[in-house]
Amino acid sequence: MLSTLAGFLDARGGLVRWSAKAGGEALALDLEAGGPWEQGERELVFSGPHPSPHDGGLGMGLLISREIARAHGGSVDTGKPGSGNAGFAVVLPLGRAD
């Protein structure tokens, strides 16, 4: 899942900024590329298969990554608006040491 997200950002200028913060029961990751979203891409990235996938595949990688996070009780969304650069905000639950 993270490899797919990083690969997408690599195609948008490389992964230039990231942060990780553990709090409560979750780990929050902010991933930002060095380059911008393509025109209209931010809105469509999780709405269906990507029309021009960075890896030449079927365009399902980001959708599958999001569903993997959801299946584990987390989430993946497009990053914080404002910078103009492509990015993702990932939240994953922390494991319990029972």
| Predicted local confidence at residue 97, as pLDDT | 55
Q: What is the pLDDT of residue 59?
A: 82
pLDDT in tens, the chain (98 residues): 999 999 999 999 999 999 999 988 999 999 999 999 888 888 888 988 887 777 777 789 999 999 999 999 999 999 776 678 999 999 999 976 55
- Whole-number pLDDT of residue 96: 60
Tally Cβ neighbours within 10 Å of residue 9.
25
Q: What is the pTM for the complete model shown?
A: 0.86
Domain-wise residue ranges, the chain? 1-93
CATH architecture of 1-93: 2-Layer Sandwich (3.30)
Of 54, 75, 44, nearest to 10 by C-alpha is 54
